[in-house]
Structure 1
Amino acid sequence: MGTRSEQGGGGEAAAPPLKRRLRLNSPLAQVILVGLVCFCCPGMFNALSGMGGAGQVDHAAANNANTALYAVFSVAGVLGGAAFNLLGPRPTLFFGCSTYLLYAASFLHYNHFHDQSFVVAAGAFLGIGAGLLWAAQGAILTTRPPPARKASFFAVFWCIFNTGGVVGGAIPFAMNYNRAAAASVNDGTYVVFMGFMAAGAALALAVLPVGGGPVTARAEAAEIAKLFVAWKALLIAPAAWASNFFYAYQFNDVNGVVFNLRTAGLNNVFYWAAQMAGSAGIAWVLDGGARGRRRRGLLGIATVAAVSAAVWGGGLANQLRYTSGKWEKKLDFKDSGKAYAGPVALYCGYGLLDAAFQSLIYWVIGAMADDPHQLSRYSGFYKGIQSAGAAVAWQVDKRHTPLLTQLLINWGLTTASLPLLALLVFLAVEDEAGKEIVASNEYQTPSQQS
């Protein structure tokens, strides 16, 4: 790597031409490609879940499926980093995408036969696939971008990924627009979701290796075991647990309770669009502004803490309006007038906070190590702990825990994790001059990055 003077005096090398930046083996092109894969699969899954009960009036099937999904995911996520290191990105991502397709198909089946067994089995199978897919995503997103651009590259990914939620939210809204009183979405909604998920599996075959030396199964098992006693991993675990815990409450007990079916679909367009704003905003804080990675990391944590207090405070005010768990008359975007504005703004706030929180965590993970294999393990550990928390959350909701209690648990988990993240940033993130530079070798091939 050259010195600052060698790179043009300004401390940063001139960005390569757009054609070079979008070459298939460039970091930016690979990040965009992974974003498109996640647009088609997890993005559509998020839209499906965001309707409340995956578009079914009875949330029991979706809750049980999600419990199975996240329980399996909690194990598959931790092991996913090792699987990625052993298999590489293409088989890991392709298998992961295929399980999303099966999950959507199970709800098409449920629309006709109302048999939970297939839905729950598909949820468990998706837990394996999602563990592999997200471990691969985390490995690529924490290793491919240059150090001084990690949050910005993640924001690019997050915007593409969440465009899937926007498009996915528009699908049930459009296809069920004239069914305002309907209980469940129609068959065509699930068929369209399945088409996107199949396209995601095909795109996964174009993802390239990230570099790094060969590994063995025995070595990977030993390294995974070490994570459970490593102080860096333990400090990030509470944030991981909290980072998906709130979905059950937000999707089922806000969007699924307060709004009717077509409006819940429209709300997801706004929710995932707000995620783009949240990711872009925190990227500006983490990659720009203050000098020094550690200072930017602490500033990012303070920013997320402030947003969290505002959003969950608004959530508390809204939740006190229906402590019984039932909204007096479900809101409709067209017929409810001003009464719709406040609750939908809050729902967008939840989306913005989610993106800022998760982007912050990924930035911290990316700053914890330089080795691609180690970063894939940290990413898998994060997704595993995150999924264990989500499995618990879906059962908390299934057991009809009072909604006010659920809100306070979610608020408390998010808030308690932030001081531990600050400690991790203070102890583990170094202000190394070389890592602050966007070097001329930013757009390397996988072999060069190894």
Structure 2
Amino acid sequence: MEDGMRAQDSPVVDSDGQQDNRSTIRQIWTHSWFQILLISFICFCCPGMYNALTGLGGSGQVNQTVAANANVALLSATSATALFVVGPIFDRVGPRVCLLLGGWAYPLYSGSLLCFNSTANGAFVIAAGAILGIGASFLWVAQGAIMTTYVPESQKGRAIAAFWIIFNLGGGVGSLASFGSNFHSTSGTVSNGTYIALLVIMAIGWLLGVFICPPSYVRVAQLEATPVPEKNWRKTLRQALHTISNWRVLCMLPLFFSANVFYSYQQNVVNGMTFNIRTRSLNGALYWIAQMAGGLVIGLILDMPGLNRRMRAVVAWCLLFATGMGIWGGGYAFQKWFDRRTAMGLKQDVDYTDNNVSVGPMFLYIFYGCYDAFWQSFCYWLVGASSNSPAVTAILVGAYKTFQAAGGAMAWRINALGKPAMTQFAMDWGLCMGALVFAIPAVLTVTMTSESESEPDAFEGTEVRDSDEKVRVEMKA
């Protein structure tokens, strides 16, 4: 880009000595926080509305097997493309093109469910899920790179919190809309109007991708772009292999794998098989609202003043482990209660007005949502703590999405095969706690800053300076 097109250029002044309004608009557009809010709203419209659908259990359908298999196709496609396909493409074309390439798949998926309501064409839903998996790879790699590199290091926790609040507001609003439209429903399936409304919102989010700013325009001093002469497929793939083979990243992979592994159990068993359709919609709203609260709490902890970055990592890990044991312990009590009810032939019958039986399971589902925000925000923060380069971060986010999707695909397939709910629960709890233990070495070696002179060697022995504490530390491989 020519210097005259950079965001940090001097304001344009007209003949009357007044700053050109176009320059003011450009300054707003290229501001890092405007871009964070924009990508958050795009995710509010696209994956946020998708979450509203999946949170209903079976994507709002009585036949949960079709939705589960669609999720398997979706996550398998994401796992196959996020790291070694979308990551290198992102480095070549940037976040805007990636968002436009991937965003259209969200309204397609909602349209397939609308079609299923009339034709019961499950093959179309599964195919749309596979296409959405590829589209989601493009969207999430772009989103992760923007969220973790477009703001200064001292604001990364707040950026993650802001994103998580706005993004999950989409799931909350979508679920509340479904709750209203299905309040008197007795069919067990959401109405056509619900799918149409979500389709329109998803399409709007996709089109908003044209306003995403290229990394070279963003006014953040630490932001590093890959030099144009270095952009070729061989070097990009070599950089991807070099990045993910670092031992710290390898310690984080179980965290990534477990990030979505509990969705199938929580959405299709806890919510989908316990409550009626209107209560599932209400629970979906409460689940995503709890995600907003969880994102705010963990974001503030990860930017906590008075603690260096390594200590904030340790505090966040302790929070995840302690709350995880407590919440999953409550889940074990629920699962024994659920098994007793299932043995009596009771399912999808609990209404939120049945206070004697609904309060405990509903609060458990809320806490599950809060814990999901803790987990994923921590993963994103660890990615942001590793590099300030959009290219390197795209690789790390690609690795995150690849392993996250692989774990989710495994879990959804187990759910689709009808494995016992207690088996699914035990698998989720064990994987989550085991992943936290496996990540301890990476957490304890979080460095004071991710600034470096050469981002492809971000994990190599490089001296860097903590911008807050004014100390020098050595990043050891």
Aligned to 2:467: 435
| SS of aligned partner of 1:413 | helix
C-alpha distance in structure 2 between counterparts of 1:145 and 1:84, whole Å: 19
| SS of aligned partner of 1:257 | coil
2:290–2:366 contact (8 Å) kept in structure 1: yes
C-alpha distance in structure 2 between counterparts of 1:316 and 1:21, whole Å: 53
TM-score by length of 2: 0.84
Aligned to 1:129: 135
Deviates more, 1:286-295 or 1:339-348: 286-295
C-alpha distance in structure 2 between counterparts of 1:85 and 1:324, whole Å: 53
Equivalent position amino acid for 1:191 in 2: I
Shift of 1:224: 2.4
C-alpha distance in structure 2 between counterparts of 1:100 and 1:45, whole Å: 7
Shift of 1:433: 5.3
Deviates more, 1:281-290 or 1:423-432: 423-432
1:325–1:402 contact (8 Å) kept in structure 2: no
Equivalent position amino acid for 2:415 in 1: D
| SS of aligned partner of 1:368 | coil
Matched, 1:73 2:78: yes
Shift of 1:288: 0.7
Aligned to 2:245: 229
Q: 1:200 aligns with which of 202, 205, 210?
A: 205
Going from structure 1 to structure 2, the CA distance change for 1:360 and 1:325 (only over 3 Å counts) comes to: farther
C-alpha distance in structure 2 between counterparts of 1:158 and 1:21, whole Å: 26
Q: How does 1:220-259 map to 2 (within 5 A)?
A: 220-259=236-275
Q: 1:332 aligns with which of 343, 351, 376?
A: 351
1:289–1:296 contact (8 Å) kept in structure 2: no
| SS of aligned partner of 2:254 | helix
C-alpha distance in structure 1 between counterparts of 2:46 and 2:79, whole Å: 19
C-alpha distance in structure 1 between counterparts of 2:150 and 2:336, whole Å: 45
Q: How does 1:345-364 map to 2 (within 5 A)?
A: 345-364=363-382
Shift of 1:222: 1.9
TM-score by length of 1: 0.89
Equivalent position amino acid for 1:311 in 2: I
C-alpha distance in structure 1 between counterparts of 2:78 and 2:290, whole Å: 26
Aligned to 2:235: 219
Aligned to 2:441: 423
Q: Structure 1, unaligned stretches of length 5 or more?
A: 1-18, 439-450
Matched, 1:56 2:61: yes
Matched, 1:149 2:155: yes
C-alpha distance in structure 2 between counterparts of 1:176 and 1:230, whole Å: 50
C-alpha distance in structure 1 between counterparts of 2:467 and 2:148, whole Å: 14
Matched, 1:100 2:119: no
1:301–1:421 contact (8 Å) kept in structure 2: no
1:297–1:425 contact (8 Å) kept in structure 2: yes
Matched, 1:383 2:389: no
The structure with the larger Rg is: 2
CA-based RMSD: 1.9
Matched, 1:393 2:411: yes
Matched, 1:296 2:312: yes
Q: Structure 2, unaligned stretches of length 5 or more?
A: 1-23, 217-224, 450-463, 471-477
Shift of 1:233: 2.2
Equivalent position amino acid for 2:263 in 1: Y
C-alpha distance in structure 2 between counterparts of 1:324 and 1:85, whole Å: 53
C-alpha distance in structure 1 between counterparts of 2:26 and 2:87, whole Å: 27
2:248–2:441 contact (8 Å) kept in structure 1: no
Deviations 1:4-50 (A, max 9, x none): xxxxxxxxxxxxxxx99992211111000000000000000011001
Higher relative contact order (CA 8 A, sep 6+): 1
C-alpha distance in structure 2 between counterparts of 1:178 and 1:420, whole Å: 47
